[in-house]
């Protein structure tokens, strides 16, 4: 069932990417970066269908990078690319959804970011430049971020000559939104907070957190750097909605308590247990 669900997400993500390309960006002369940008510019210059350039450029990239990524990545990327290509063919005859520059940038970036993010989330990829970045990193030790930054700088600069400087500037905004939305899809959905609590009343605070908020906690042994005294620290992970209540509860027990909270980009398996269950 998990595999079926993954392929459903791959399908949905691929179709969303196709909608963003064919119905928003391409008809209005805007791009986002990577192979999709090259496909749109090739279509504008020599009228080659977007799907054709998309597949022709992605297949070699997948062959080059595939041995570093494993069978699962290759199969899921091929599936996502095929679905995207079919959807691009289907949506090609349709008129653009909007011609408003603001809506193009916002919704074009949003759709591509969500689509690519879903595909990457379940172990695939849409854009061949990311695959080449992985290959360059493994073979020549070039940082992935620098490789992508360089290649997309070249692509977006070329967009100024194919379309116009103004459209290239809008494309940079699209690329930025796509990047941020992908980050949110990959890291933001299960984002939580890890909390470290230093207090003179650790047992009392721990019991309060467990009984009142149902938060599972862990006691860590520590030593004061100045006093040299042994102490207990409290560590727990919670979501960002519960954290304000956690902070209020801790300070109600010990106003001098020190709390350190950090965002964690992926949280799984967080359980809330009663103190009795923990002792069992």
**Structure-token pair, residue 105:** 């940038």
CB atoms within 10 A of CB 263: 12
Burial environment of residue 2 by CB neighbours within 10 A (0 to 12, 13 to 18, 19 or more): exposed
Residue 275 is assigned to a structural domain of this protein: no
Residue 62 is assigned to a structural domain of this protein: yes
Separation CA 77–CA 87 (nearest Å)? 15
Domain that holds residue 156: 1-187
Higher pLDDT, 107 or 275: 107
Q: Which residues contact 107 (CB under 8 A, 6 or more apart)?
A: 20, 24, 97, 98
Residue 277 is assigned to a structural domain of this protein: no
Give the number of residues written for the chain.
280
**Structure-token pair, residue 73:** 């990545």
* Domain boundary residue, one of 135, 157, 187: 187
Same domain, 145 and 35: yes
The CATH number linked to 200 is: 3.30.70.120
Q: What are phi and psi of 30, to 5 degrees?
A: -120, 150
Segment among 18-32, 65-79, 112-126 with least mean pLDDT: 65-79
Q: What is the pLDDT of residue 266?
A: 63
Same domain, 218 and 244: yes
* Domain boundary residue, one of 171, 187, 203: 187
Task: Mark residue 234 as left, alpha or beta (left: phi above 0; alpha: psi -120 to 50; beta: remaining).
Answer: beta
User: At residue 243, does pLDDT exceed 80?
Assistant: yes
pTM for the full predicted model: 0.74
**Structure-token pair, residue 255:** 């106003």
Same domain, 172 and 199: no
User: At residue 278, does pLDDT exceed 50?
Assistant: no
Residue 280 is assigned to a structural domain of this protein: no
Residue 273 is assigned to a structural domain of this protein: no
Indicate the pLDDT class of residue 280, thresholds 50, 70 and 90.
Answer: very low
Same domain, 144 and 249: no
Q: For 100, how many CA atoms within 13 A lie in the half-sphere containing its CB?
A: 6
Same domain, 252 and 146: no
User: At residue 277, does pLDDT exceed 60?
Assistant: no
Q: What is the pLDDT of residue 137?
A: 72
User: pLDDT (tens digit, 9 = 90+) per residue, 193-207?
Assistant: 889 999 989 999 999
Residue pair 35/57 in contact (Cβ under 8 Å)? The answer is yes
Same domain, 106 and 207: no
Q: What is the pLDDT of residue 151?
A: 85
Domain count, the chain: 2
Same domain, 246 and 169: no
Same domain, 108 and 200: no
Same domain, 79 and 159: yes
Same domain, 203 and 170: no
Same domain, 204 and 244: yes
Same domain, 180 and 48: yes
| Closest listed residue to residue 253, CA positions, set 204, 197, 198 | 204
Indicate the pLDDT class of residue 61, thresholds 50, 70 and 90.
Answer: confident
Residue 255 is assigned to a structural domain of this protein: yes
Q: Is 96 helix (H, G, I), strand (E, B) or coil?
A: coil
């Amino acid at each position: 069932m998990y595999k079926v669900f993954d392929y459903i997400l791959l399908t949905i993500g691929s179709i969303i990417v196709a909608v963003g390309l064919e119905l928003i960006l391409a008809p209005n002369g805007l791009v986002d970066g990577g192979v999709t940008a090259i496909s749109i510019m090739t279509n504008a210059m020599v009228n080659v269908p977007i799907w054709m350039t998309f597949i022709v450029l992605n297949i070699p990239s997948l062959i080059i990078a595939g041995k570093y990524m494993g069978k699962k990545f290759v199969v899921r990327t091929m599936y996502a690319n095929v679905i995207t290509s079919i959807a691009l063919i289907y949506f090609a005859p349709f008129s653009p959804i909007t011609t408003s520059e603001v809506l193009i940038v916002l919704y074009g970036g949003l759709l591509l970011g969500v689509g690519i993010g879903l595909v990457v989330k379940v172990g695939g990829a849409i854009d061949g430049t990311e695959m080449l970045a992985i290959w360059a990193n493994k073979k020549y030790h070039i940082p992935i971020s620098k490789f992508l930054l360089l290649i997309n700088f070249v692509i977006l600069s070329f967009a100024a000559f194919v379309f116009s400087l103004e459209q290239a500037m809008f494309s940079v905004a699209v690329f930025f939104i796509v990047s941020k939305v992908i980050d949110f899809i990959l890291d933001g959905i299960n984002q939580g907070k890890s909390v470290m609590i230093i207090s003179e009343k650790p047992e009392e605070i721990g019991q309060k957190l467990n009984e009142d908020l149902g938060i599972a906690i862990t006691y860590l042994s520590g030593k004061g750097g100045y006093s040299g005294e042994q102490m207990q620290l409290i560590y727990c992970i919670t979501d960002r909605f519960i954290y304000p209540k956690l902070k209020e509860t801790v300070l109600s027990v010990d106003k001098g308590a020190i709390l350190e909270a950090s965002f964690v980009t992926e949280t799984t398996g967080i359980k809330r247990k009663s103190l009795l269950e923990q002792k069992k």
